[in-house]
Every structure is written in structure tokens, then in C-alpha cells.
Amino acid sequence: LSLNGFSDWYLPSKDEINEMWLNLADLDGDGTNTGPSDPNNIGGFANSFYWNSTEFNTLDGRVHNFENGNPDQSNKDLNEHVRAIRAF
């Protein structure tokens, strides 16, 4: 992805997306995110599934549930949210 003059964006791994959950979407640590209006969700994440770059098998990829913080799997044909990140 090239965006805003940077070309080093990438899809986070399952571990990186979990850190996003912990540090951006669930700041109070209560295990819930009601969506972008949640005051403890500083990342503006939807309470939905987000893809990560870690493969589960040939048919399914790994997703992270940003409603409750649980990792899961989803068929690769399904449309889920994405959040690209940059190395820092």
C-alpha cells in the first residue's frame, strides 16, 4: 500500500493486530469495544472482524474480533475489515 507519501504499509500479523486491540481498541481492558464512539477505542475500530496476515489454512485466514478481542478464522472469500500498519 502506498498512502500519504509512504509505501511501507502492510497487513499486521496476528500478534501485531492483538497489540492493536489491547492498546488502541480496548484501553480500559474490559474486553469490549462498542465501535468508533467507544471512548476507550482510540483507534476508531468497528466492532467487527479485521483480517491479519497470518494464514490459517488454504481456505481460511486469521481474523481478530474487535468486538471482544478474540482471534478467529474466516473464509478467505469473505469481506472483513483491514487496518494497514507501518513499521516504526
Strands 49-55 and 60-65: antiparallel
pLDDT in tens, 38-88: 999 999 999 999 999 999 999 999 999 999 999 999 999 999 999 999 986
Is the model's pLDDT at 21 over the cut of 90?
Answer: yes
pTM comes to 0.91
Query: Where does 3-79 show beta strands of DSSP type E?
Result: 9-10, 49-55, 60-65, 71-75
How does residue 1 score in pLDDT terms, banded at 50, 70 and 90? confident
| pLDDT for the residue 3 | 87
| pLDDT for the residue 56 | 94
